[in-house]
Amino acid sequence: MNVKVGWGVPGTMAVARGDDAGRAPSAVAAYRLRDAVYLNLTNRCTLRCRFCPKFHGLWTVGEARLRLRASEEPSVTAVIEAARALGSCTEYVFCGLGEPTTRWSALLAVAAALRTEGRPIRLNTDGLASLIHGRDVAPELAGLVDHVSISLNAADERTYEHLCRPSRAGSYSAMLAFAARARTFVPRVTLTAIAGLEGVDLDACARIARELGVAFRARPLESTDGRSFRVR
């Protein structure tokens, strides 16, 4: 399936880790996309989504290079400083080319620090935090995160496993359970799925969201640099 996609976003700005200052930004800790500042905690993930740009060799958003080796994962202080260095924004968003909740304690610490600035904070996630950390972590988001956007990606487990290739058994049901729990502690919860991706029933995805009492959004399939690639 060839899909033309794009994050052809002009004016994207990025700030590297504090100890990379003055050098090529190989380890970007924060980047600006439109009016929001995005926080890049890690490239690690519990999924290997067939449509993820990084598995097609695409690692940049505008001028921001998001590839992070394990030794390059930014410290809490580096993320906070990088976010603030990008100036005023409409919101802070935990989102890079990895799953931010794999660094749970760092995520909470960064959110607590940035919370003092009075800007909304959004978490883009695969919804598997409770599964990977072995406990119900949703209550820990209370008072720190305003919006959780969860990648539902499919209306049934079989399609989800084909597209997302989870590393943990029970990921689909765990993601739905996390969405149901998150709505108790976070003001806004949204499930998302990709429009135009073969096998994804958007109407059925929207029904799941309604049944859970959360919002739904169909999102475009995006690469990080506007190139097209084949989803197999």
pLDDT (0 to 100) of residue 13: 56
User: Rounded mean pLDDT of 61-75?
Assistant: 86
pLDDT (0 to 100) of residue 116: 95
State the pLDDT confidence band at 14, using cuts at 50, 70 and 90: low
pLDDT (0 to 100) of residue 142: 98
Quick check: 56 pLDDT over 70? yes
Q: CA-to-CA distance for 8 and 5, rounded, in angstroms?
A: 9
pLDDT (0 to 100) of residue 8: 38
Closest CA to 73 of 104, 110, 29: 29
110's CB contacts (< 8 A; 6+ apart) are: 39, 41, 76, 79, 80, 83, 94
State the pLDDT confidence band at 55, using cuts at 50, 70 and 90: confident
Quick check: 54 pLDDT over 80? yes
Q: CA-to-CA distance for 124 and 18, rounded, in angstroms?
A: 24
The pLDDT tens digits for 185-204 are 999 999 999 998 889 999 99
Question: Which range is least confidently modeled, 7-11, 174-178, 209-213?
Answer: 7-11
213's CB contacts (< 8 A; 6+ apart) are: 180, 183
Task: Round the average pLDDT of the chain to a whole number and report it.
Answer: 87
State the pLDDT confidence band at 99, using cuts at 50, 70 and 90: very high
Contact 62, 40 (CB under 8 A): no
State the pLDDT confidence band at 62, using cuts at 50, 70 and 90: confident
Q: CA-to-CA distance for 202 and 152, rounded, in angstroms?
A: 10
User: Rounded mean pLDDT of 77-102?
Assistant: 96
The fold adopted by the segment(s) 2-230 is TIM Barrel (3.20.20)
Q: CA-to-CA distance for 205 and 200, rounded, in angstroms?
A: 8
Burial class (CB in 10 A: 0-12, 13-18, 19+), 198: exposed
Q: CA-to-CA distance for 151 and 194, rounded, in angstroms?
A: 9
Contact 39, 32 (CB under 8 A): no
The pLDDT tens digits for 142-189 are 999 999 999 999 999 999 999 999 999 999 999 999 999 999 999 999
174's CB contacts (< 8 A; 6+ apart) are: 127, 128, 130, 131, 168
User: What is the percent of the chain where pLDDT is above 90?
Assistant: 71
Q: Where do the domains of the chain lie?
A: 2-230
Q: Which residue has the higher pLDDT, 70 or 12?
A: 70
Angle between helix 104-115 and 76-85 (nearest 10): 40
